[in-house]
Structure 1
Amino acid sequence: MDSSVDSQFVATLVACIILNVGCLQENWYGYHIRDPSEWGKMYARCADNHDQSPIKIEEAETVYDRVLSAPVLHGGWEYVPTSVLMLENNGHTMELVFKDNHIRMHGAHLTHEFYLKQCHFHWGEDIEKPGSEHWLNGKQYDAEMHCVFINVDFVPGTEEEIYDREAWAVFAVFIKFDSEKPNEYIDYLLSHTDAIREAGHNYSFNQEKKKADIRHLLPDNLSEYYRYQGSLTSPPCYEFVVWTIFNNPIHISRDQAEKLFELHNFVKERNVGYMNITGNFRPPQPLAGRTVYRSFRDIDDKLNTAYDQLSNGLVILFTLFAALFCARD
C-alpha cells in the first residue's frame, strides 16, 4: 500500500465501498470531471500498470482451462414476499442492491463462497455509442452489467483484506440493445427509475414472486466465460477482484435502454441543470502479462476433439472386425 495514503482513510473507504459503492460521489471521481485518466492523482492504485480492469479480451489469446466449471447459484432466486430490494442512483450508475445477502454463489473454481451484494450497469455517451467496460474480440458492446459477489470471509474496513486476491468475485455480462428483444426482468426494474431520477435517491420495494427470478439478468449459458485476476473498475481500483466475463450477451430493448440515459449524476451546469449519467465506463487497461482463461473449447479444440473421438472409434471398430475375422478362422 502507498505509504502516502492514510490508513484510516483506506479503512473507511473500504468499508464505504463494501457497504455501498454509491457513497463514492461525483466530487471524488467521475467520468467527465476528474475522468479516469486523472483518478491516479488521488487513488494510487488507479495509476498502476498491472492487474487493473477492465481489459480487452481476444479469444485466440486466451487459454482453455477445463477446471472452470459453471458457477452454482443458490439460496435466493425465489424471494419470499418480505424480502426487500433497493434500486439506487448513486450518481455514477443504477444499482440493484440486495439487502439480506441471501443469494449465494460458489463453484467456478473459486475457493470461497460469496454472497450477492449488488448489480450495476455501465453504458455509453448516448444510445448509439457503445459503453461496455470490457471488450471482446475487438468489440465494445452497447452496455455491461456487473454483479458483485463478496467473499463471505471478507471483513469490511480492515486494511489487510485489501490484499485478499479473492475478496470480490464479479460477474460481467455484455448487453446488446435490441428493439425486438425486451427483457421482462429489466423492464420490471426500470419501471421504478422515475423514483431514482436524481443522484443519491433510492427506492426500496418488495418483488412480485412471478418476477423474482434474478437469473433473468444473466445469460442462459453460464458455463461459457472468461476468467482473469483484476481490479475494481472505479476508485480506489483495488486489485482484489476475480472476474468472470460471460461469453454470451443478454438483450434489452432500446426503449428500455433509454431509461438509463435519463438518470442524473451529481454534476450541475449553470443554466442547464443536472447532467445525465452517460459514458460511465473506464477505458481498457493494459493486460500486463496476465493470462486470461476460458471455460470452453474454441472451434479448433472442438474439431480436434471430434477428430480424436472419430479416430478412436474407428480404431475400436477395426479391432472388433479383426477379432471377428480371426475368430472365424
Structure 2
Amino acid sequence: MASKLNLIFIWYYLSFLVLYSVCFREDQWGYHINSQWGDEFNVCNHTHDQSPIKIVYKDSVYDPVLTPPILHGGWTYVPTSVLMLQNNGHTIELVFKDRHIRMHGAHLTHEFYLKQCHFHWGESIDQQGSEHWLNGHQYDAEMHCVFINVNFVEGTEAETYDREAWAVFGVLIKFDAEKTNPYIEYLLSHTEAIRDAGQNYSFNQEEHKADIKHLLPDDLSEYYRYQGSLTSPPCYEFVVWTIFHNPIHISTHQAERLFELHNAVVEQNEGFTNITGNFRPPQPLAGRTVFRSFNKANAASTPQTTLLTIILLIATAFILY
C-alpha cells in the first residue's frame, strides 16, 4: 500500500515538474523581458535577418516585380464556422481553423494559406506600440496576418530551413477617435469572452459571414518587402515580410478593449495583469535591402513632418504678407 502511495506521489510530483517547466518556459519570453529571449532561444540573439526593423522610404529600393498580392478562396466572405478568437496570453488572435483563404503573387514563389491574424500595441492608449517603424515614426499598433507555405506541415524541421516558409502581412494601425472600423468592432465586441489567457470564442453560432477585407488597407499595391524573422521566440528567420505603406484606422474606444485583456502572468495579491507593450523593439537591418513596390512623391513624409511643413508654409505666407 505504501509503495503504491509513493508511486502516486512520484507521478504527481513529476507531472508538476513538467507543467511548471512548460509554464516557466512560456513566461520567459514575455515582452517586458525581450532582452533575455536569447538565453532560452538562441536565434533571438542573431544580429542579422531579425524582425521588426525601421523602414525608411528613401533608403528602400523600388522593384517593379512586386505586384499586389492575390487573395482568393473567399477572402471577402469567410464562413464564421472557420473563425475563432482567442487570448493566448501574449496577444489577441483571429484564428482560421481551415485553409480557406489562400494567397499568392507579390513575387512570392509559393502559395500560402492564412493561419491567423494578431495584434501588437503599446503600454497605454497614448503610447505607440507598432513593431515596425516607417520613416522614423512608430504607429499606435500593428496587425500581423500570418500565412503558411502550403508545402509545409506547420512545425516541421524543414519549415525552419526554408526562407519562404511563412509570409506575413504587417498592417500599421492609427488610433482615431472619429474613425470606427466596423470589422474590428465586430471582432472586439467579443473580447469579454476572452478576457483571460487561454480563453477563446468560436463564431460557429453566428449566421452572417465575416468581411475579412476590412482588416487590410484599401490599396494593397503599395508595400515594402524584406527577409526577416518571427518577432517573438523562437525568432526563426524564415519570414518574408510585406509591410503595407498605408495604415488602417480604428477608434480609440475600440483600441481600449485591447488593454483590458489579461496575460498569463499572475502578480502576487493582484491577480492577472493586463497585456500591454507586447511589441519587440526594432532590430538591426544588418546590410539587408528593403524593397518597395511603388514610387510616391510624398511617401517619405510622416504625420509629424507633414504637420511641420504646413506650419512652416503658414509662417512663411504670414511673413511675406
Q: Please report the TM-score for the alignment, with normalisation by the length of structure 2.
A: 0.83
> Could you tell me how far apart the structure 1 residues matched to 2:117 and 2:89 are?
15
| Residue of structure 1 in register with 2:31 after alignment | 31
Determine if contact 2:79/2:210 at 8 Å carries over to the other structure: no
Partner SS for 2:160: helix
Q: Show structure 1 runs of 4+ deviating over 6 A.
A: none
| Residue of structure 2 in register with 1:216 after alignment | 214
> Could you tell me how far apart the structure 2 residues matched to 1:279 and 1:82 are?
30
> Could you tell me how far apart the structure 1 residues matched to 2:78 and 2:69 are?
23
| Residue of structure 2 in register with 1:151 after alignment | 149
TM superposition shift of 1:212: 1.4
Alpha-carbon deviations, 1:61-116, whole Å to 9, x = none?
00000000000001022546563311000000000000011100000000000000
TM superposition shift of 1:299: 1.9
What letter is aligned with 1:146? H
C-alpha distance 81-97 of structure 1, shift in aligned 2 (>3 A): closer
Determine if contact 2:139/2:174 at 8 Å carries over to the other structure: yes
> Could you tell me how far apart the structure 2 residues matched to 1:210 and 1:160 are?
38
Higher mean alpha-carbon deviation, 78-87 vs 278-287, is at 78-87
Determine if contact 2:78/2:209 at 8 Å carries over to the other structure: no
> Could you tell me how far apart the structure 1 residues matched to 2:271 and 2:171 are?
32
Alignment of structure 1 residues 76-115 onto 2, 5 Å: 76-79=74-77, 81=79, 83-115=81-113
What letter is aligned with 1:38? Q
Determine if contact 1:80/1:209 at 8 Å carries over to the other structure: no
Alignment of structure 1 residues 243-282 onto 2, 5 Å: 243-282=241-280
Rg comparison, structure with higher value: 1
C-alpha distance 249-24 of structure 1, shift in aligned 2 (>3 A): farther
> Could you tell me how far apart the structure 2 residues matched to 1:62 and 1:115 are?
28
Calculate percent identity across the aligned residue pairs: 76
| Residue of structure 2 in register with 1:10 after alignment | none
> Could you tell me how far apart the structure 2 residues matched to 1:298 and 1:24 are?
48
TM superposition shift of 1:211: 5.4
What letter is aligned with 2:167? A
> Could you tell me how far apart the structure 1 residues matched to 2:80 and 2:64 are?
40
> Could you tell me how far apart the structure 1 residues matched to 2:39 and 2:185 are?
39
TM superposition shift of 1:272: 1.4
What letter is aligned with 2:83? L
| Residue of structure 1 in register with 2:166 after alignment | 168
What letter is aligned with 1:200? G
What letter is aligned with 2:170? A
Alpha-carbon deviations, 1:188-225, whole Å to 9, x = none?
00011000000011111138575511000000000000
Determine if contact 1:199/1:264 at 8 Å carries over to the other structure: yes
Determine if contact 1:89/1:196 at 8 Å carries over to the other structure: yes
| Residue of structure 2 in register with 1:197 after alignment | 195
C-alpha distance 286-82 of structure 1, shift in aligned 2 (>3 A): closer
Determine if contact 1:93/1:280 at 8 Å carries over to the other structure: yes
Q: How many residue pairs align between the two structures?
A: 277
| Residue of structure 2 in register with 1:66 after alignment | 64
> Could you tell me how far apart the structure 2 residues matched to 1:24 and 1:192 are?
29
| Residue of structure 2 in register with 1:227 after alignment | 225
Partner SS for 1:244: strand
> Could you tell me how far apart the structure 1 residues matched to 2:122 and 2:259 are?
9
Determine if contact 2:175/2:251 at 8 Å carries over to the other structure: yes
| Residue of structure 2 in register with 1:125 after alignment | 123
Determine if contact 1:78/1:209 at 8 Å carries over to the other structure: no
Partner SS for 1:38: helix
Partner SS for 1:189: helix
C-alpha distance 178-25 of structure 1, shift in aligned 2 (>3 A): farther
Alpha-carbon deviations, 1:261-319, whole Å to 9, x = none?
00000111112111000000000000000000000013299xxxxxxxxxxxxxxxxxx
| Residue of structure 1 in register with 2:9 after alignment | none
| Residue of structure 2 in register with 1:295 after alignment | 293
> Could you tell me how far apart the structure 1 residues matched to 2:219 and 2:108 are?
18
Determine if contact 2:76/2:213 at 8 Å carries over to the other structure: no
> Could you tell me how far apart the structure 2 residues matched to 1:208 and 1:178 are?
29
What letter is aligned with 1:100? D
Unaligned runs of 5+ in 2: 1-22, 300-321
What letter is aligned with 2:122? G
Determine if contact 2:79/2:209 at 8 Å carries over to the other structure: no
What letter is aligned with 1:244? T
Determine if contact 1:25/1:266 at 8 Å carries over to the other structure: no
Q: CA RMSD in A?
A: 1.9
C-alpha distance 128-169 of structure 1, shift in aligned 2 (>3 A): same
Determine if contact 1:79/1:209 at 8 Å carries over to the other structure: no
Determine if contact 1:85/1:207 at 8 Å carries over to the other structure: no
